[in-house]
Amino acid sequence: MTRLALLRYPDPHLKTTCAPVDVFNDDLRQLSDDLLHVMRSVAGVGITAAHAGVLTRLVIVELDRSQGVRIFVNPSISWASEETAGHMEGSVCMPGATEEVTRPASIRFQYQDLTGKPHEEAATGFFAACMQHEIDQLDGIFWLQRLSRLKRDRVIKKWEKSMIRS
């Protein structure tokens, strides 16, 4: 198992657009296994390769272990509802920091699996929020950028204080 290390906010790689995956092989499967291990080690529900400094379009989501792990290669949103919903969000790269983010309540998205086979799927609720959050990360948009300046500054200040204490 390759050991991946999570980046920490404000690492500039967290604002970098990721390259599409064009080779579907054992290395990609190993990267997905390694990311799952890292995500579980920090009790996350979603992670991208970018969170570990690998700037490629790979997302791992596990909202509930009983529902299993979902792996999305090259995901992109094809439709988003006008209706919005707020959900508490955070990042594995900014542990302990959370805030409510408002996003479209429903989306349709396309992706490939680990073999390269294309898929399209709809998502609502927390799953929709998670997918939008992770796809944003692949596009170089860190979740804080979805907050108002006031909320963003408050979250960053609180998080920086918590990092000094730990």
Helix (H) or strand (E) holding 79: strand 70-80
Q: What is the DSSP string of 122-150?
A: EEEHHHHHHHHHHHHHHTT--GGGGS-HH
| Nearest residue to 37 (alpha-carbon basis) of 6, 15, 80, 74 | 6
Q: Considering the candidates 89, 120, 134, 160, report the single residue annotated as catalytic.
A: 134
Average pLDDT over every residue of 33-39: 96
* 134 given a catalytic annotation: yes
Percent of the chain's residues with pLDDT above 90: 92
- Residue 60 near residue 46 (C-beta atoms within 8 A): yes
Does position 66 have pLDDT exceeding 60, yes or no? Answer: yes
Structure tokens given for 7: 């980046």
Mean pLDDT, rounded, of the chain: 95
pLDDT given for residue 166 in this prediction = 65
Does position 15 have pLDDT exceeding 70, yes or no? Answer: yes
Does position 29 have pLDDT exceeding 80, yes or no? Answer: yes
Which domains are assigned to the chain?
Answer: 12-165 (3.90.45.10)
Q: What is the pTM of this model?
A: 0.95
Task: Measure the N-to-C terminal CA separation of the chain; round to a whole number of Å.
Answer: 28
Structure tokens given for 141: 């948009």
pLDDT given for residue 2 in this prediction = 55
